[in-house]
Amino acid sequence: MQICNHRHTIVALSEPFVRCLRAMCLRACVLVLMVCAAWCSVVAQSHYVRYIDEYKEMAIEQMKRYGIPASITLAQGLLESGAGQSTLARKANNHFGIKVGTSWNGPYVKHDDDARNEKFRKYKSAKHSYEDHSKFLRNGARYAFLFELDADDYKGWAHGLKRAGYATNPRYAHQLIDLIERFELYRYDKGGSRKLLALERAGYRLLMCNDSYYVEAKAGDNIKSLSKALKVSKRKLRKYNEVSKHHSFKSGDRVYITKKQRKAAKPLKHHYHEIAAGQSLHTVAQLYGVRLKTLYRINDFSDDYVPRVGDRVLLRK
């Protein structure tokens, strides 16, 4: 009878191979984390978009009644309630993180915040939360100075809320501004009415460049058709966009519905725009939301100047 002795062979892995294997595992882990982060970002984005769609009309209504920019109300609601997903929003309809304070006689819930088991106001509905938020700001002495700001000065409001102590996070103002600009919430401040919603139903989106509002033209648009659709007089449209009454817009052209600024945005100081094929000086003025005569003046261009491809145009001194 033959007996077989099975010996186990131990293979010694070389150090370079081990390092390579570790690197591959690390890359795989990083890739998984990146995919997870991207997926979470997509989910969060969808929550934010749904929240805006659901509450934008409510924010506009509050703006009409109390003078608080709709963009600020929406941004605070998004931030404080986690786009409606926070515990306070789901269990207490509290979208703005307002605590009980000394003036509140209604129901409340306890929630851990700066300290454990702090008392927060509880509402019957989100609508009641929005209404109370407006009254909280409007009637609060420390917020009184905010109502001296322009209705569309969302940056002033954001920094003012932080200065008045609405939140303890040192980046609170920047968080609000980031949300407003990322989701273009400033569009809902225009006019303090439902005009924006009418524009959206007509197929136009209100956008902003250099603190001036504009829409993007559709194929076939002209001064007359845009005046009717946008509810802006033909004279104002010609003036704001520095065009003649017979001007026709191409699809995607910017059409300003408020005055363009006398200067380009501050970050563009000492910056130049290089003329591309098909661009005019008027094209540059529309792209940066600055008045045409400003570009002529700061560049010392003559009245008959015609830009050529490759010319550099100073945007702001």
pLDDT in tens, 34-71: 544 444 444 457 889 999 999 998 998 899 888 899 99
pLDDT the model gives residue 135: 92
pLDDT average, residue stretch 302-310: 94
pLDDT in tens, 96-113: 999 998 889 999 999 887
> Which tokens in the block code for residue 92?
């207490």
pLDDT in tens, 257-279: 989 999 999 889 999 999 999 99
Highest mean pLDDT among 1-5, 147-151, 297-301: 297-301
How far does the chain reach from its first CA to its final CA, in angstroms? 100
The CA-based angle 194-197-200, given to 5 degrees, is 155
28: pLDDT strictly greater than 80? no
212: pLDDT strictly greater than 90? no
pLDDT average, residue stretch 119-128: 95
Domains of the chain: 43-97+125-189 (1.10.530.10), 202-256 (no CATH), 266-314 (3.10.350.10)
Average pLDDT over all residues of the chain: 86
Rounded distance between C-alpha atoms, residue 154 and residue 187, angstroms: 11
Percent of all residues in the chain with a pLDDT value above 90, rounded to a whole number: 61
Rounded distance between C-alpha atoms, residue 107 and residue 317, angstroms: 57
pLDDT in tens, 64-90: 888 899 999 999 999 999 999 999 999
pLDDT the model gives residue 64: 83
Query: Global pTM?
Result: 0.58
Contact 194, 269 (CB under 8 A): no
Contact 96, 105 (CB under 8 A): no
pLDDT average, residue stretch 123-146: 94
The residues that bridge with 222 in the sheet, in sequence order, are 248
218: pLDDT strictly greater than 60? yes
197: pLDDT strictly greater than 70? no
Which amino acid is it at 23? A
Which band of pLDDT confidence, cut at 50, 70 and 90, is reported for residue 238? Answer: very high
